[in-house]
Amino acid sequence: MKAQLVNEVGEQRTFVVVLDPGEEAFGALTAFAAEQRIGSASLTAIGAFERATVGWFDLNATSYRKIRVDEQCEVLSAI
């Protein structure tokens, strides 16, 4: 992972984070947030995954329905 602080105004910081191929996104970003002492944040992302699990919340079942994608996939937007 590579990370760079690109803006800081008061207590608000903006980082650009680039993950390495094969790096697990959730774990890497969670570790980065802990290391930087980030208690709350917003995330905007583009890029690609080698594989991913995505999902949606099913109101009737009151649980997430997971969809596994086992191929290269492009992330057009993650907000």
Q: What residue ranges do the domains of the chain occupy?
A: 1-43, 45-79
pLDDT at position 76 over 90: no
Give backbone dihedrals phi and psi of 33, rounded to 5 degrees, phi first.
Answer: -60, -40
Q: What pLDDT was estimated at residue 79?
A: 86
pLDDT in tens, 6-60: 999 999 999 999 999 889 999 999 999 999 999 999 999 999 999 999 899 999 9
Q: How confident is the model at residue 67 (pLDDT cuts 50, 70, 90)?
A: very high
CB atoms within 10 A of CB 33: 16
Distance CA 36, CA 17 (A): 12
Quick one: which of 51, 47, 37 has its CA closest to 74? Answer: 47
